[in-house]
Amino acid sequence: MMTAPAKDEGTYNVVVIGAGTAGLVTAAGTAGLGGRVALIERNKMGGDCLNFGCVPSKALISSARLIDKMRRAEEWGLRKIEPQFDFNEIFGRMRARRAQIAPNDSQER
């Protein structure tokens, strides 16, 4: 886990606990309005949505839907095929998608 100490002592206008979606939006909005923000996160930036929930689940669901469409190819006048899939590759795609989005949730943002 990366940590960034406060740049200097002083007063903050807002202290945000949790760098999930709501925390990141609050911190960015406050900073954008000129406020001084302390953002506290005990785990990974991006919270549950990026790391465990929304992003990973949607990537896996997307692969599952494609497999289902391939199995139902006859509905579109195509030959039915049984897709060959590799869970390691599917999970690799999910991790790559998560890594692509992660910089938007980084502390440097």
Domain boundaries, the chain: 7-42, 47-109
In tens, the pLDDT along 20-69 reads: 889 999 999 999 999 999 999 888 888 888 888 999 999 999 999 999 99
pLDDT interval class at 4 (50, 70, 90): low
Those residues with Cβ within 8 angstroms of residue 109's Cβ, 6 or more apart along the chain or in another chain:
24, 28, 103
Give residue 1's pLDDT. 46
% residues pLDDT > 70 (the chain): 88
Measured in degrees and rounded to the nearest 5, phi and psi for residue 81 equal -135, 150
Residues 4-31 have a mean pLDDT of 86
